[in-house]
A and B are shown apart, each in its own frame.
Chain A
């Protein structure tokens, strides 16, 4: 079956620190991969996506590369801000099927 594993949180960083949130997946076929972000009391917002192997998704300074050989899609940002504090969800979506989400990783950035 399809599944997503994320690093356990919470992750606490100081402002301007480097961020990595690990994500690995198990899937049949070649799904699209996503990172969604959820701010307190809100729904999910798409952060970035990649639809095939070696694609790099990027947005707002965040990046993730679709690695088929390691079945990974790790999220990185070079310099985090307090406003990046949120819960981050890694997800996969096989073609024409539903999303499968990881459990989420809570990030807290301290000034």
Chain B
């Protein structure tokens, strides 16, 4: 067990709706990043937060947004959901001087 927890574990939404996914990072880790893993593919980087500021972003549209809180937990928000947003969303936390990251179990989002 990594100490990174995500909620909810599964979620079904309708196209056009908005969704918020949550992540509690491992104690002592101040960097949180989010990845999207479509079925049968490798995870793709969405964005990263360090000390409550976004400090890196992948090739995702602005309707994907996030927050990091003072306790280093994080949220991923997706507006105007599309069918292609159906995927496993993974949160990863790491210490500022670490090379590895610890992943949560993920949230499985299904858009219908």
Q: Is B100 an interface residue (CB 8 A)?
A: yes
Chain A 69-111 against B: per-residue CB contact (8 Å), 1 yes, 0 no? 0000000000000000000010101010111111110000000
Interface of A is mostly: strand
Residues of B whose CB lies within 8 Å of any CB of A are 2, 6, 33, 35, 40-45, 48, 56, 58, 88, 90, 92, 99-106
Tell me how many residue pairs across A and B have CB atoms closer than 8 Å.
Answer: 55
Interface residues on A, range: 20 to 34
Q: By the criterion CB–CB under 8 Å, are B45 and A98 in contact?
A: yes
Please judge, given known A-B contacts A44-B43, A103-B42, A104-B42, whether A98 and B33 are in contact too, CB under 8 Å: yes
Which B residues lie within 8 Å of A104 (CB)?
Answer: 40-42
Q: Can you name 25 A-B residue pairings with CB atoms under 8 Å?
A: A32-B99, A32-B100, A36-B103, A43-B88, A43-B105, A44-B90, A45-B2, A45-B103, A89-B42, A91-B42, A93-B99, A93-B100, A93-B101, A95-B99, A97-B56, A98-B45, A98-B56, A98-B58, A99-B33, A99-B35, A101-B35, A101-B44, A102-B42, A103-B42, A104-B41
Inter-chain contact B48/A98, CB cutoff 8 Å: yes
Asked if B45 and A46 sit within 8 Å, CB to CB, the answer is no
